[in-house]
């Protein structure tokens, strides 16, 4: 049966790229995120660094994951305009080893699209916010790399 959509496994592609000695990440997160969640209007802050510049941004959201997505998108868009086109299409999570209760590992899966390509990322952590943050970073990193590849193919 023919697929209606092709969802790229960006986690696998990023893991392979990161295993190469010459891989140069387009950005890095300085430290980690800061999240203030009052149950009403969560706020996240992040510091992003590239070779040329460093940004420190804050943003709010309707929930903690939305605040993390918004702050990353805000920070990265100023350096990598391609991020403005990226949308989160789907978010899901599942608990590994439910016998561990609230300390169980949580797997987060996020599907992204830039209107043409669709890719999926997965991250696991004991903290759902951290798993979400890592997945968001990977999804945005993949978008930046994919845009570079598209540009080089046109040239």
Q: 């804050």: which residue's tokens?
A: 58
pLDDT at 150 over 80: no
pLDDT single digits (tens) 8-25: 999 999 999 999 999 999
Query: Three-class SS of residue 103?
Result: helix
pLDDT at 155 over 70: no
Q: Specify the pLDDT at position 148.
A: 82
Residue closest to 114 by CA, chosen among 137, 81, 67, 79: 81
Q: Specify the pLDDT at position 149.
A: 78
pLDDT single digits (tens) 55-102: 999 999 999 999 999 999 999 999 999 999 999 999 999 988 767 777
Determine the Cα–Cα distance for residues 57 and 74; give it in Å rounded to an integer: 7
pLDDT single digits (tens) 83-92: 999 999 999 9
Kindly give, in sequence order, each residue whose CB lies less than 8 Å from that of residue 54, ignoring residues fewer than 6 positions away.
Answer: 30, 47, 48
pTM metric for this prediction: 0.92
Residue 11 near residue 120 (C-beta atoms within 8 A): yes
Q: 């209007």: which residue's tokens?
A: 41
Domain boundary assignment for the chain: 7-18+25-154
The CATH architecture to which 7-18+25-154 belongs is 2-Layer Sandwich (3.30)
């Amino acid at each position: 049966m023919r697929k209606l959509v092709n969802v790229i496994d960006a986690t696998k592609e990023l893991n392979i790229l990161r295993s190469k000695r010459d891989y140069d990440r387009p950005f890095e997160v300085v430290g980690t995120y800061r999240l203030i969640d009052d149950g009403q209007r969560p706020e996240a802050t992040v510091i992003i660094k590239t070779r040329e510049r460093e940004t420190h941004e804050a943003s709010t959201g309707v929930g903690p994951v939305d605040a993390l997505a918004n702050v990353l998108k805000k920070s990265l868009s100023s350096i990598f305009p391609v991020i403005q086109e990226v949308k989160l299409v789907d978010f899901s999570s599942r608990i590994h080893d439910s016998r561990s209760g609230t300390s169980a590992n949580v797997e987060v899966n996020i599907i992204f699209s830039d209107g043409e390509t669709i890719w999926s990322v997965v991250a696991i952590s004991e903290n759902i916010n951290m798993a979400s943050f890592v997945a968001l970073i990977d999804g945005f990193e993949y978008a930046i790399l994919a845009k570079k590849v598209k540009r080089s193919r046109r040239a």
